[in-house]
Amino acid sequence: MRACLIVLLFVVSATGCEPVYTTWDARESFPVFVKAGAASPAAPAPLALKVMTWNVKYGAGRIDFWFDLWGDRTEMTLPEVEGNMAGIYALINDVQPDVLLTNEIEIDSKRSAYYDMVKGILDHTALQWAAYTPTWQSRFVPSEGVGRMNMGNCIFSRYPIVASERIAQADRTDQDPVTSAFYLHRAVGRAELEVGGRHVAVYTVHTEAYDQDRTNARQQAQILELVRAETLPFLLGGDLNALPPGTVKVADFNDEAPAALGTAFAQPPYHTDDLLPFYGELREAIDLARYGTTEAEQQRFYTHSVIGEGTIGANGEPGFWNRHLDYLFVRPPDAWRPGSTDVLQRRFDSGIQEEPIGLSDHCPVIGTWDVAAVAP
Amino acid sequence: MSRLTLVVVAVTVAGVTTPLGWGHAADLAPRDTAAVGRAGDWSLGVAAPLRYAARDGVELQAHPLLFLVAPNLLVRVAHGVALGWQLAGEYGASLPTPAMRLAQGYVFPTWDKSARRVGWFVVPRAGVVASHLGPANSVLTLRLDAAYGFGLSRNDATPLESAAPLDVLLAPALSRYRIRCGVTHDVSISERVRVRAAANVYLHGAQPSPITFAAGVGVDIGVGERSRLVLGASYWNSDTGAIDLATHEHVRSNDFFPSLDFIWAG
């Protein structure tokens, strides 16, 4: 079967103008998208930016897709995507971030009805600039009818983005060549913002979820090296698919489908020490003291659940946020404004009117980034 | 034969112009014409279909490699000559569902947690071919045919929006219909070599656009008395949902496919 697939891919890729799957250089500049009529607002002094990170699950809301093993959907209708995205726009507008980091955002995928979510967010929110960097781009993914795919990370800003770059991350080594070619190629998106005459850097990351070879840890190490070399004040955020140090609940999650065990989509073990260097060198929006030391304390900061409240999970409980995977970091002397950071798990958290549990399998993390007057 | 081998064959079949007509003179005969063979004539390619003239003026045509997983049969009937044009009718049907179900897990979803499924279809097809003999043994052929996918059961499969030849092949099942309007010009440049150019316009259900253009060139090189080596290339312009990544504007896809076949004939 694999040999036949290789023949098919060779025939198509050798002859078509558009490659069947896409590869990238180690570092590549990418275009910045600007809303028509965009104008840079006045920046506060001292400089502070309200920021938000959110894995938006390609606008699928709580539709159970095949790889989560709770359902078998492979694509959505356009009205479904439009409906889900309307909720995402509403929540973004509730928060009114200056900078928004998104993971799993799609611009041209069959499964999301070719809906351009980058353009959608620019059109429906106060955000004006967008730096999109793809991590999964194939003309046709020959698996479960996935078809055309263009998914990635995006940095949105109310302030001008003057540069956008895609920095390739290490690929998994535990896949055969064909699977690897059509699989995600994780990347760091780096954007440079001009805010009130200053330049700041923003990094968006989304590291591996299903690796059995510690690719996730290698990608984290690479991210750490990148930000250590950064000369500008920076924000680092996204879905790291890793638990904070000291997390009490690390296995037997309610949202793990029993059918996933033994498949390519089984949850690999978490290593709670992986993120210690991040917490040691940077400041997280939810620091470890606030995160707590008991499951009861920590669950207030969980950001992810594969299933929503309408699904009874493996432990017989309805779905709800059950682990913390999404992060916002800044580097001292930059800091988080006291009282500004939150995990938006529920309606009315930090004043939002939307119910996040129905909008994605992740909920947003927010905070106000106080940018120090002098760069380190 | 594996499931994806069948997909490869399907793509190849769609990318290669169908062999039509065979000669009875010393010259290599043109293909893709309204000529219908005499009783007992036959031809068979690797990708080209098996053709057999059951009697004078009536041919049966089927793709043997696909037949077991996508039963198909086309009957070509000579309809005489009008105003200097030789006419033939083409009438057939196919049942693509078994092949589509074999491709589940790859180009179609498995759907193992719901009642979603690849439906049963029967795809009748009818068309007319008209050929006119021109100077220097050249043949101009016009073609119009249509196929419609009649659903016999629930279907949840959607158009693949992958590569134009495969999309066009499956269009009647996945987007209801396919209409082809085409022209082929076939010229003899020596006793054993013919060159040809063809252009086709396909109308079909939205996937996402309802129109696909195709053009191709090829050369047939005679081998033995009636067999031939067939080389060619085709260009396809279709809508596979692509966008220009610099502007996010919707664009059509342009693809080139080579073709190579050997057609035995007797």
Q: Determine, yes or no, domain membership for A19.
A: no
Find the CATH number of the domain harbouring A325: 3.60.10.10
Is residue B160 left, alpha or beta, with left meaning phi > 0 and alpha meaning psi from -120 to 50? alpha
For residue range B79-112, what is the model confidence (pLDDT) as tens digits?
Answer: 999 999 999 999 999 999 999 999 999 999 999 9
Confidence (pLDDT) at B245: 84
Contact (CB<8Å) A4/B105: no
Contact (CB<8Å) A72/B113: yes
Contact (CB<8Å) A4/B161: no
For B3-265, give the CATH class: mainly beta
For residue range A360-371, what is the model confidence (pLDDT) as tens digits?
Answer: 999 999 999 999
Number of domains in chain A: 1
Confidence (pLDDT) at B65: 86
CA distance A325 to A291: 13
Q: Is the pLDDT of residue A14 over 60?
A: no
User: What's phi and psi for B61, nearest 5 deg?
Assistant: -140, 135
Question: Nearest Cβ partner of A33 from B8, B248, B254?
Answer: B248
Q: Is the pLDDT of residue A350 over 60?
A: yes
The token pair that represents B198 in the structure block: 């063809």
Q: Is the pLDDT of residue A153 over 80?
A: yes
Contact (CB<8Å) A114/B113: no
Confidence (pLDDT) at B119: 97
Nearest alpha carbon to residue A235 among A201, A284, A193, A273: A201
Q: Are B237 and B251 in contact (CB under 8 A)?
A: no
Rounded mean pLDDT, A238-266: 95
Confidence (pLDDT) at B15: 35
Mean confidence (pLDDT) of chain A: 94
H helix runs in B118-210, sequence order: 164-175
Confidence (pLDDT) at B266: 84
SS3 of chain A: the string is CHHHHHHHHHHHHHHECCCCECCCCCEEECCEEECCCCCCCCCCCCCEEEEEEEECHHHCCCCCEHHHCCCCECCCCHHHHHHHHHHHHHHHHHHCCCEEEEEEEECCCHHHCCCCHHHHHHHHCCCCEEEEEEEEEEEEECCCCCEEEEEEEEEEECCCEEEEEEEECCCCCCCCHHHHHHCCCCEEEEEEEEECCEEEEEEEEECCCCCCCCHHHHHHHHHHHHHHCCCCCEEEEEECCCCCCCCCCCCCCCCCCHHHCCCCCCCCCCCCCCCHHHHHHCEECCCHHHHCCCHHHHHHHCCECCCCCCCECCCCCECCCCECCEEEEECCCCEECCCCCEECCCCCHHHCCCCHHHCCCECCEEEEEECCCCCC
Question: Nearest Cβ partner of B8 from A4, A15, A116?
Answer: A4
The token pair that represents A65 in the structure block: 């897709």
Question: Nearest Cβ partner of A11 from B11, B109, B112?
Answer: B11
Chain B positions touching A114 (Cβ under 8 A) are: 208, 241, 243
CA distance B231 to chain A (A): 15
Of A120 and B14, the one with more pLDDT: A120
Contact (CB<8Å) B242/A8: no
Tell me the domain boundaries of chain B. 3-265
Q: Is the pLDDT of residue A30 over 60?
A: yes
Q: Determine, yes or no, domain membership for A375.
A: no
User: Can you give the residue range of the structural domain that contains A271?
Assistant: 28-370
Contact (CB<8Å) A107/B4: no
Q: Determine, yes or no, domain membership for A3.
A: no
Confidence (pLDDT) at A270: 96
* Chain A nearest-CA residue for B6: A4
Contact (CB<8Å) B116/A16: no
DSSP-derived letter for residue B101 is H
Chain B positions touching A110 (Cβ under 8 A) are: 161, 241
Chain A positions touching B8 (Cβ under 8 A) are: 4, 7-8, 11
Confidence (pLDDT) at A340: 98
Nearest alpha carbon to residue B175 among B184, B166, B186: B166
Kindly state the percentage of chain A with pLDDT values over 70.
Answer: 95
CA distance B234 to chain A (A): 10
Contact (CB<8Å) A147/B160: yes
Q: Is the pLDDT of residue A272 over 60?
A: yes
Q: Determine, yes or no, domain membership for A220.
A: yes
Confidence (pLDDT) at B26: 61
Q: Determine, yes or no, domain membership for A135.
A: yes
Rounded mean pLDDT, A327-334: 98
Q: Is the pLDDT of residue A17 over 90?
A: no
Q: Is the pLDDT of residue A310 over 80?
A: yes
Using the structure block, give the residue that is written with the tokens 């800044």.
A330
* Chain B, window 114-143: residues with a beta carbon less than 8 angstroms from a chain A beta carbon: 114, 116
Whole-prediction pTM: 0.91
Contact (CB<8Å) B110/A108: no
* Residues of chain B scoring pLDDT < 70: 1-26
CA distance B28 to chain A (A): 29
Q: Determine, yes or no, domain membership for A1.
A: no
Q: Determine, yes or no, domain membership for A246.
A: yes
Contact (CB<8Å) B242/A75: no
Confidence (pLDDT) at A3: 47
Question: Nearest Cβ partner of A110 from B108, B114, B241?
Answer: B241
Q: Are A278 and A243 in contact (CB under 8 A)?
A: no
CA distance A93 to B120: 46
